[in-house]
A and B are shown apart, each in its own frame.
Chain A
Amino acid sequence: MAVLQMQKISIYALKKNRKEILEYLQLRGAVEIIDSNAKGNVFHKADVQQQRAKIERNIDQIRKALEILSQCTNYKSGPLSTFQGRSPMEFREYRNAEETIPQYEEAAYNINELDRKIAENKAELQRLHTQIDALSPWLSLDISMRTKGTKYTRVFIGSVPEERTLEQILSDLAQAAPKVKNVYAEILSTSADQTCLFVLCGRKDAEVVEYALRGIGFSYPSSPAENLPQEQCVQLRERAEQVQKEIDSAYQKIKSYADDRMALEFLLDHEVMRAERNEVLGRLLQSRRTFVLTGYVPQRDVDNLAKTLSEKYGVVAEVEDLTEKDDPPVLLENNAFAAPMEPVLESYSMPGRGEVDPCTVMAMFYYVLFGLMLSDAVYGLIMVVGCGVLLKKFRNMESGMRKTLQMFLYSGISTMFWGVMFGSYFGDVVDVVSSTFLGKEVTIPPVWFVPVNEPMRLLVFSFLLGILHLFAGLAMKMYQLCKAKQYKDALYDVVFWYMLVGGGIIYLLTMEMVVSMLGIGFQLPAVVGNVAAVIAGIGAVGIVFTAGRESRNPFKRLLKGLYGLYNISGYLSDILSYSRLLALGLATGVIASVFNQMGSMAGGGVVGAIVFILVFVIGHTLNIGINVLGAYVHTNRLQYVEFFGKFFEGGGRKFNPFSAKTKYYKIKEEN
């Protein structure tokens, strides 16, 4: 219902209780710490940098260990894990679990080490395979690759580029060294880009032959092995096998930690909490034996908090009301009907200073507008059932997610309502199925009317709803101004506009042209029109004289007043903007019937039924997705632009208490 009143609490305590007090405050999550500057030389702030770096290293290590564990054990969190939320944990359990921390810190360390080892071994394996590959062209060689020759002979072992035959090589050699008679050459292997050679010649011809070989691009292998290529290859393979075994065993060892996942998750949460406490510690004012902590607390919690703290830890807690200088954060509290609006409001902005919480009024319109844009009874039912099941199944869901789902649930109910009003059930599926497969057309009649047949009627209704919405926004402004005791502003900025816009609309309804165009069944008598025109006129004159009231110069004031009156065009475009209710509402129904019609094109019978079911399932899934998105975006737009434009500026800061921002466990406070 409202923005909660904040108060300021100052806690004076002994340093020996510091850890317990901080822990208590963190789990309680009710205080937003204020930074205060040290005055004089009694109090100072502690330097926590070193500690922080250490904790962050820990957090990194644990996070990485969890990641490695997930990879090695194929742990997947499932598509619904977003809704899961944190598991609750009693304070006693938390204390017990803390005892086991050193053991699991070691586990995290080991997992990281094993992972490093795996990475190293994989690199080694890669190197071994490269070596084996490099050896493969030489396997047919049955002497060492380093052989240089005997007493009277010289041996060349190496390769020339490109694929060559023995004849080619021999003829090349004969050409380059015509005087050399005795050259023996053998091709060890050929491939597209190289030919491996064994060449033998007399020692006295060695230089000439070598020169000739160089001439055809001969080169020695880059790392010839001492052993026979065959043997070398076997050795490398053995080594590779061993490395592979080491990798496997390291994987096995990591897998053996699978049962420690929960403990590691707890450890991560624990360290994250420690990091936050450490951060707060750096912001506290501390003397040799005492420390001071100041913060904002919601008024509803403050007495209880102060009492518990002084009873448990003997602190002195001082509560003060806020002054003008304070910049309190904003915390909202709403009933079940309006609370789902909080995330929507939050993604715009929190209420600024002196602004009211608009959630309740927003909620009344939000669900209606959303439902009108989607307006299909079965789509609504699907939303209600889907959200309902999720809400029921995941009890520990985070509150933001819970509120969003509740928002879709309520919007789904409204969608069902409008679907029944407009006679839309999966579009016109009943008509199509009955006429295609049963041979007799059955229609579920709408409770109100069918929008495709009477779009004008829905358009008028949309405008009406829009005017109500805008007037509600103006009413909010009036309420805000009256609350701030600015009654004159309320008259100038709200009442005059009510008179002008309201009077103008009523006057339009007395004109025959407008009435026949909109297709409304009644026409107001001319007397009413005259009264309305007078009221609108008074409003207009009032606006001209007051809209520029900040300016002292009378001429400027009048000009500003006239400009203020020009805002009437803003109202016109605001009202026209609500035509999107019609557009989106029709879009859902028409696309649904397009899919139904496509499905029925294969005719009746078994084949027709199969085609129909396929088209039906795919088409309507797509349609729900697109139109829920459209309805969501455009409902938000109507709220943010048209409705908020009338009274809400925002700019508040969300209450961000010192709390346990954990990921896996929600630890309950001690009681």
Chain B
Amino acid sequence: MDINNLGVAMALLGAASAALLAGIGSAIGVGMSGEAAAGVVTEDPGKFGKVLVLQLLPGTQGIYGLLIAFITLSNIGILGGSSDVSFAQGVMYFFACLPMGLVGLWSARRQAMASVASIGLVAKRPDQFGKAMIFPAMVETYAVLALLVSLLAVSNISKIAI
């Protein structure tokens, strides 16, 4: 068996893990903050809009994961086109996807904790919504940076001929 046949499989493993890990992180995160948000709404249904925004903040990692997975899939030709990926390239795709997957998983959980705390803040002081939104958004920075690295890597691998 030609080892280069495994290239596309490695790349797919990368794409899947980006979507998988980041998606798991966001699912956990949105779930956690959703519980907190539901608690606030039982007391005061008027805060629904505000806590909903805070609940959704840890959801972006999943989207970033999807983004990386999708770009990888279309670059390696799984969504049509030729799937001409060498083994080295496949491994590179795999590594390129890792930052988004792992940072996505971890940052979504951590962001959710900040979100939960911010939901508590909004429950007590609704006027501080602007600040409450910033704390979880600070965590997101690192997911954005990971996305950036994965994105730049994934979109340039096909230009390297190995």
Q: Which residues of A contact B (CB under 8 A)?
A: 344, 346-348, 452, 455-456, 459, 576-577, 579-580, 582-583, 586-587, 590-591, 593-594, 597, 626, 629-630, 633-634, 636-637, 640-641
Contact = CB atoms under 8 A, between A and B. Distances in A.
A641 B138 contact: yes
A637 B144 contact: no
| Closest 9 pairs between A and B when the two form their complex, measured CB to CB | A347-B130, A637-B137, A580-B144, A590-B67, A583-B144, A348-B130, A583-B147, A579-B148, A347-B129
A455 B152 contact: yes
Contacts of A594: 66, 70
B56 A626 contact: yes
12 contacts: A455-B151, A455-B155, A577-B144, A583-B144, A587-B63, A591-B67, A594-B70, A626-B60, A629-B53, A633-B57, A633-B133, A636-B137
User: From DSSP, what is the main secondary structure of chain A's interface residues?
Assistant: helix
Contacts of A580: 140-141, 144
A626 B67 CA distance: 14
A626 B59 contact: yes
Nearest to B133: A633
Interface in B147-162: 147-148, 151-152, 155
Given A455-B151, A591-B67, A641-B134, A629 B56 contact: yes
A633 B131 CA distance: 11
Contacts of B59: 626
Given A591-B63, A626-B59, A629-B56, A636 B148 contact: no
A69 to B, nearest CB: 20
A346 B131 CA distance: 10
Contacts of A590: 66-67, 70-71
Contacts of A583: 64, 144, 147-148, 151
A586 B151 contact: yes
Contacts of B66: 590-591, 594
Interface residues of B, number: 30
Contacts of A579: 144-145, 148
B137 A576 contact: no
Interface of B: 53, 56-57, 59-60, 63-64, 66-67, 70-71, 79, 127-131, 133-134, 137-138, 140-141, 144-145, 147-148, 151-152, 155
A5 to B, nearest CB: 25
A630 B130 CA distance: 14
Given A452-B71, A452-B155, A634-B137, 16 more contacts: A579-B144, A579-B148, A580-B141, A583-B151, A590-B66, A590-B67, A591-B66, A594-B70, A629-B53, A629-B56, A633-B57, A634-B140, A637-B138, A640-B131, A640-B134, A641-B134
Given A455-B151, A579-B148, A630-B60, A637 B134 contact: yes
Contacts of A587: 60, 63-64, 67
B60 to A, nearest CB: 6
A591 B63 CA distance: 8
A379 B39 CA distance: 33
A233 to B, nearest CB: 43
Contact of B67 (A456, A586, A629, A640): A586
Give the one of B57, B79, B144 with max A CB within 10 A: B144
Given A583-B148, A633-B57, A577 B129 contact: no
Contacts of B56: 626, 629
Given A583-B144, A587-B67, A630-B60, A636 B133 contact: yes
Contacts of A452: 71, 155
Contacts of B147: 583
Contacts of A641: 134, 138
B155 A636 contact: no
A594 B19 CA distance: 13
Nearest to A582: B148
Contacts of B131: 347-348, 640
Nearest to B52: A629
A511 B57 CA distance: 39
A326 to B, nearest CB: 23
Nearest to A632: B53
Nearest to A573: B141
Contacts of B129: 347
